[in-house]
Amino acid sequence: MTTQNQGAVAKTEPTQSERFMAKVISEFGSSVGEVALTNFQKRLAQNYFIALDSVLKTTEEKRLKKSEKYRDPLPVTWANVNMDKLARDVVAYARIGFDPSQPNHINLVPFKNNTTGKYDIGFIEGYRGLELKAVKYGLDVPDHVTVELVYSNDYFVPIKKDANHPYEGYEFEIRNPFDRGKIVGGFYFHSYAKAPEKNKLVMMTIKDIEKRKPDHASTEFWGGQKDKWENGKKVGTETVEGWYEKMCWKTVYRAAHSDITIDSQKIDDDYLRLKQMESDFADAEVEQEISANANKNVIDITPPPSAAEPEQEPDQPRKTSRSSKASQESAEQGEIKFEINPDDIPQVGDEGPDF
């Protein structure tokens, strides 16, 4: 056979992007009865690939930086991702409209599935994604949702529905915009232009807001004291200003849209798939906690700074678990849970919280 003929029969290996798109197209075809994707769906699928490719590379770099004692032997690469599950999940989120290229829509987090021996991808909704879901599936979606923080120098008077007031409302005035004082709380207001009797005002004290703060909230976002490292050694602590006001506002914003009831008549296969993924993610965390309590060597992707790894200076927000006790036990073993505050995750290309 001539060199020309050999070249003719030689097969060109598809790129990872092409394999990913083929999987997604196959899932779209099986779920909607047709193979063709709209231009919008193609763009979303490409955005998921670009975002996840970046996440996998960053996570693999972190894995390699770990000391061998705490390093999971399985590389965080496309070859070790559960592609069948990923394609199904991407289809569900793309059909709902979540776009990973948009700030605070959806965040992708790889985590090890010990049953399959591969990495699954957790999809964590940002506060804008939560709004999108509430608007699409809400039972009685407000015409407008107002979210505000209240400071000590502001004027705020709630008006609750009673014999003298046919519907709820409020009076709010920023009397000194350049010196508003300290945050004392926040509120959200669901307003209905054609049916104001449905208006709903919910107030949250600063204590209520901070109760929703993760047990091990990232100081890069919430501010506070952070370990200071020099030449791979802890030399003390330093104060980080963070984005405390923004994180408080996001907390109230998430509560405002979580308070919109889902309409059971609007629930479709994509929404059910989304809820199943959330359940799977929670189950995986429980499995991690059980393994930790059984003193098994469960290694997650990003280690916390600890005495066990003095050579590594932390450069990313730490992830959090639902149980502070379990988190403490995990840290002592050199591991950490993968449940995180959705708004503590830096977006691809972001340098900080979006405004």
Q: Are residues 151 and 60 in the same domain?
A: no
Confidence of residue 180 (pLDDT cuts 50, 70, 90): very high
Domain annotation covers residue 296: yes
Based on the fold, state whether residues 37 and 131 are members of the same structural domain: yes
Report the C-alpha gap between 194 and 20 in whole angstroms.
Answer: 47
**For 33-78, where are the alpha helices, taking DSSP H only?**
39-65
Do 128 and 28 share a structural domain?
Answer: yes
Same domain, 197 and 123: no
In this model, does residue 71 exceed pLDDT 80?
yes
Residues 271, 208 share a domain: no
| 66, two tokens | 């770990």
Which of 258, 288, 322 marks a domain boundary? 258
Instruction: Say yes or no: 66 and 91 in one domain.
Output: yes
pTM given for the model: 0.68
Kindly state whether residue 1 falls inside one of the protein's structural domains. Answer: no
**Residue 68: how many CB atoms within 10 A of its CB?**
6
The verdict on residue 231 lying in a domain is yes
Q: What band does 286 get if pLDDT is binned at 50, 70 and 90? A: low
| Domain end (from 195, 225, 258) | 258
Domain span at residue 212 reads 141-258
Is residue 9 in a domain? no
Tell me how far apart the terminal alpha carbons of the chain are, to the nearest angstrom: 63
Indicate whether 310 and 241 sit together in one domain.
no
The pLDDT value given to residue 231:
73
User: CB under 8 Å to 293, separation ≥6 — which residues?
Assistant: 326, 329
pLDDT score of 273: 66
Q: Is residue 355 part of a domain?
A: no
207 with 149, same domain: the answer is yes
Flag whether 7 is in a domain: no
Count up the domains in the chain and report the number: 2
Q: Which pLDDT belongs to residue 21?
A: 84
C-alpha to C-alpha distance for 47 and 100, rounded to whole angstroms: 6
Encode pLDDT of 188-227 as tens digits: 999 999 999 999 999 999 999 999 987 777 888 898 888 8
127 shares its domain with 182: no
Q: Of 52-61, 107-116, 152-161, 250-259, which gets the smallest average pLDDT? A: 107-116
209 and 272 in a single domain? The answer is no
Same domain, 145 and 252: yes
Select the highest-mean-pLDDT range: 161-170, 209-218, 288-297, 309-318. 161-170
Same domain assignment for residues 128 and 153? no
Query: Band of the pLDDT at 264, cuts 50, 70, 90?
Result: confident
The length of the chain is 355
User: Is 279 within a domain?
Assistant: yes
The answer to whether the beta carbons of residues 339 and 285 sit under 8 Å apart is yes
Sorting pLDDT into bands at 50, 70 and 90, what band is 144?
very high
Strands 118-125 and 106-113: antiparallel
Of 227, 258, 289, the domain-final residue: 258
349 located within any domain: no
Q: What is the pLDDT at residue 321?
A: 40
Of 147 and 32, which is predicted with more confidence?
A: 147
